[in-house]
Structure 1
């Protein structure tokens, strides 16, 4: 264990050098097309102009990753960690800047997904094979998105059709009996565009719990998903769009010595959008969306269903260098988790102002939420950026955020109806450099959360969904804790010829302010080093993921060792329209745990073949 800690500390110095060096090494080059993102303010903006800390993942990167879970993709980004109870398909949590998994708001094609039972998105139910692009915003964004975005926002986009009809078919095979098949097509015809994707993925799995008394069977999974996106351009000013995604997953887990325990998870999303540009300066977007998260276990009888419906009217007015936004939003949550059958709603007004002139940039956002259970909650954010030179830019921001307790937190047998929303205040400062193929960034942040909801013994009366009952020997949810998520994130990149080097390093201290202890399953240091290059017809990649030790319990008495993983990838055209992909993860077959007593998959190999006419 000491060796793992020393490796993590040594990597710290190495990565600082690797991240910083490129910024001073690359000569100026000609301007490139600027990538546009929408997550920071719900308005399209060039990535280089943002005051927020955002990373974009494209489809090529996702495919090269060979990942079977979305969390595996995100864990290769700055500021992101995850924990999982076994293999893909089992319960997964994602920590953005060390914050709780429920503190990240997640959207698929603009459709909010959440669970009013566990709190937060069911990461294991989001099918990676349907994703075309991911935008990750690190830092609170409640002034834009309302409840839940204390740690950040993850926006997931499926493919939009464009150009001539383009079909594709792919197959893949990997370790642990993994099989994957996907097919679909996309394109556009006149004012109409379309995209369809189908994915079937399954694996025999591995024995995720090897301790005595656990079922020694293989814990496999199966996932079937479909996605459809349709668009119609009525005229130059008006566009209609609809998107549907569905995923049906079945995964095994161990909770008894002989029983075949299974998670049955269904995720369905539907989004309808009307975009209108009334003048060159003024535009609106009207969205209606619906999602359902259904989770069931067998043979143990447990069932929970969350339905979430949202209505959004977003307005933009551009006057020269000024951008004004105003949004009306309504969100309706409903939970069925016997004996709970309850709903609630939140109505909101959000206002935004952005200005960029010369070296200066300002972003202001305020939002008023009126919760049917808790009443009013106000949040706000202020950001400022100054371009020291065309390459160097400094940013600073502060923001407040909140998350309302789930209906399960309040009305289950462990619930307390008087729970209050969790609240946070964040401060951060950043320095960024960008010049052609060279980049460097450093962001320091401090996010303090009050009224943190924890599961504690002797916290008072619980409720059974109808009336409070005293349960002397049972723990309850309570607003008794405070936490601080603070740290520094360094990133760097350098391109020379056909080779791209990149690095990120996170030094963080997610802790309980009452006890001073580190929050469970989060490392104080984690880093990623990567290199991608082309050699003849081959695209080659190498990656090192490094993580320090973590505590598995809130008491900090159970320590999970640090680890280092080496991953390799290769792809090439083997014939016209045919692409071959191969990936090896955990090349050294490192044994490590993301949760105590739960094994990980060891060295894995994945190979795939895809047909997509050029």
Structure 2
């Protein structure tokens, strides 16, 4: 069903998964990075800020955590819609849920957001950036969103932020789960899972399949007026083995297939096909209470193909990571060696010859953190040796001061970069002399937290140079247009966010003022609003869980010249759920209650009022 030609790394991972899955009581583990979090509340620990577990309250970065309970209560159908509920995050989508989707963190480009699934890097060496429509939300157990550059820890790509997704972990006796959803546009989905643990083994397996007739996603007279439906399937497996009390092996696989209709001409039934495969094999060892190491091999492969107008692109990413961390009293030092390999294959079409390219980056990362009473200081430095661009240095420094029991102020500065994609350099539109995009970020934050309540304010400015744009004819082979380091951008803004509980009602809110602007033209960057707001409320009443949320965005422009204006919008969404029996829950969600007509991409429609009913069951 999902054609996949694995590399030696993927074959090794698949073999390990196959062997472990034959053990009768095999079980699954959370990513090795989360081993420290196993005995702590899910919300209390994050790994995205430093690539090592640490209490969220101690993190000096601006990071959010979304647990499985929050994911289920949200009831959304796509990972991008879940991210859009977070402070500082905005999305743009070409049509329905399966349409091309971009995620902007603090106004940065989609390609400036680094995505990891169970520690596996996911990216495209064609357009650059994750293809979010490929990612299945049904298999995701936990989400972490790091706002701000992470290049000093993660290397290329993380100019605007990092999103980490973790799949389900297995624990306790073997437990079955299942779910079915139906909704507007003849949307249907089924899913099933099995997880558990026994002795030294743990496991989690799951599968999901969804269909939708969709709606007419393209509104121009030259587009096919038919409905644009989609089909998506996903499978996931994770296994773990506790070799000794301090040493653990783990393996994971994720595969998705997405087929969606889109409108490129008036009469053709245009169809795109996506696949995403991730695989990882890792080990984590704790030598003492103060010393631990981890090693991971991982690979991801994404494909995108269109018919009948043929186009295909394949990206393969491999990553080898060895990391060690040592605690010395109130100080922590860390070091990591990493090798990244990128490959791109675009088979020949009627308009272009076969494009095949590859490159590698070898990196050394050093980190230090010191806690000195009410003050904390953290430094990271990274050197990447790129096979094409040579050495690239990035660094970050962060400071925090807890000047009162509930109050803390933070400040940080960091540099970042994003290497041009292989397509941007070597396709018919490419320019081999393109240089990496670079960023310099400064930010400051103030946060109050007590019990389950918190309020925060963060201000930032991120200056990006050598910004790569697609423009008019230049030095490339195409007369239509070429890529070029033609721009500079200045991203600045302020975010206010908070959450609390009053009279049995959980409240959350965020307000963003953004100014993502091209420094050379003084124009706003395309498809990014200057003001974003979210407001949510959840409560339990008479056996029901009830929720309401408002999402609002100001006007923005669809083009770099700021000629095509997209109006602002405000959406009201409602959700209700009820437990029918132990382990059996019914949920209903209504999106865009007022049936607001709006667009996040010019000439593309968005769904009007939609209803989704879901029935979930977990073995007790």
- TM tier, shorter chain? over 0.9
- After superposition, what is the alpha-carbon deviation per residue over 1:133-180, rounded to whole angstroms, capped at 9, x for unaligned? 000000001000000000010000001101111111110101011001
Give 1:539's aligned residue: 545
- After superposition, what is the alpha-carbon deviation per residue over 1:13-56, rounded to whole angstroms, capped at 9, x for unaligned? xxxxxxxxxxxxxxxxxx99961010000010111111100011
Q: Which runs of 4+ in 1 moved over 2 A?
A: 31-34
Structure 1 residues 192 and 497, CA, compared in 2 at 3 Å: closer, same or farther? farther
Is 1:175 the equivalent of 2:184?
yes
Give the Å deviation of 1:457: 1.2
Choose which of 308, 318, 323 in structure 2 pairs with 1:299. Answer: 308
Give 2:268's aligned residue: 259
C-alpha separation between the residues in 2 aligned to 1:592 and 1:257? 23
Choose which of 604, 609, 613 in structure 1 pairs with 2:615. Answer: 609
* 5+ residue gaps, structure 2: 1-39, 348-353
- After superposition, what is the alpha-carbon deviation per residue over 1:171-202, rounded to whole angstroms, capped at 9, x for unaligned? 01010110010001111000100001111111
Give 2:372's aligned residue: 357
Give the Å deviation of 1:497: 4.3
Give 1:574's aligned residue: 580
Give 2:589's aligned residue: 583
C-alpha separation between the residues in 1 aligned to 2:91 and 2:272? 19
- After superposition, what is the alpha-carbon deviation per residue over 1:507-543, rounded to whole angstroms, capped at 9, x for unaligned? 0000000000000100000110000111131111000
Give the Å deviation of 1:213: 2.4
Give the Å deviation of 1:287: 0.3
Question: Is this contact kept in 2: 1:90–1:263, CA < 8 A?
Answer: no
Give 1:501's aligned residue: 507
C-alpha separation between the residues in 1 aligned to 2:74 and 2:428? 42
Range that drifts further, 571-580 or 521-530: 571-580
Question: Is this contact kept in 2: 1:133–1:156, CA < 8 A?
Answer: yes
C-alpha separation between the residues in 2 aligned to 1:213 and 1:293? 30
Give 2:521's aligned residue: 515
C-alpha separation between the residues in 2 aligned to 1:295 and 1:408? 14
Give 1:558's aligned residue: 564
Alignment of 1:436-515 (within 5 A): 436-458=451-473, 460-462=474-476, 469=477, 471=478, 473-515=479-521
- After superposition, what is the alpha-carbon deviation per residue over 1:444-492, rounded to whole angstroms, capped at 9, x for unaligned? 000000000011114x311xxxxxx4x5x42110112100110000001
Choose which of 415, 418, 436 in structure 1 pairs with 2:433. Answer: 418
C-alpha separation between the residues in 1 aligned to 2:603 and 2:129? 24
Give 1:220's aligned residue: 229
C-alpha separation between the residues in 2 aligned to 1:422 and 1:370? 16
C-alpha separation between the residues in 2 aligned to 1:109 and 1:227? 11
Question: Is this contact kept in 2: 1:34–1:48, CA < 8 A?
Answer: no
C-alpha separation between the residues in 1 aligned to 2:566 and 2:99? 19
Question: Is this contact kept in 2: 1:560–1:594, CA < 8 A?
Answer: yes
* 5+ residue gaps, structure 1: 1-30, 463-468
Count of matched residue positions in the alignment of Structure 1 and Structure 2: 575
Range that drifts further, 384-393 or 352-361: 352-361
Choose which of 384, 387, 400 in structure 2 pairs with 1:372. Answer: 387
C-alpha separation between the residues in 2 aligned to 1:576 and 1:447? 49
Give 2:9's aligned residue: none
Question: Is this contact kept in 2: 1:32–1:436, CA < 8 A?
Answer: no
Question: Is this contact kept in 2: 1:213–1:257, CA < 8 A?
Answer: yes
Question: Is this contact kept in 2: 1:111–1:291, CA < 8 A?
Answer: yes
Give the Å deviation of 1:282: 1.3
Give the Å deviation of 1:438: 2.0
- Aligned-partner SS, 2:607: coil
C-alpha separation between the residues in 1 aligned to 2:619 and 2:305? 41
- Aligned-partner SS, 2:69: helix
Give 1:141's aligned residue: 150
C-alpha separation between the residues in 2 aligned to 1:228 and 1:66? 23
C-alpha separation between the residues in 2 aligned to 1:293 and 1:34? 31
- Aligned-partner SS, 1:599: coil
Give the Å deviation of 1:403: 0.4
Q: Which has the higher contact order (CA 8 A, sep 6+)?
A: 1
- Aligned-partner SS, 1:212: coil
Structure 1 residues 449 and 309, CA, compared in 2 at 3 Å: closer, same or farther? same
Give 2:164's aligned residue: 155
Range that drifts further, 492-501 or 402-411: 492-501
Is 1:430 the equivalent of 2:439?
no
Is 1:599 the equivalent of 2:605?
yes
Give the Å deviation of 1:64: 2.3
C-alpha separation between the residues in 1 aligned to 2:455 and 2:123? 34
Give 1:549's aligned residue: 555
Give 1:120's aligned residue: 129
Give 1:48's aligned residue: 57
Give 1:91's aligned residue: 100
- After superposition, what is the alpha-carbon deviation per residue over 1:216-252, rounded to whole angstroms, capped at 9, x for unaligned? 1110110000000000001111000000000000001
Is 1:386 the equivalent of 2:392?
no
Give the Å deviation of 1:577: 2.2
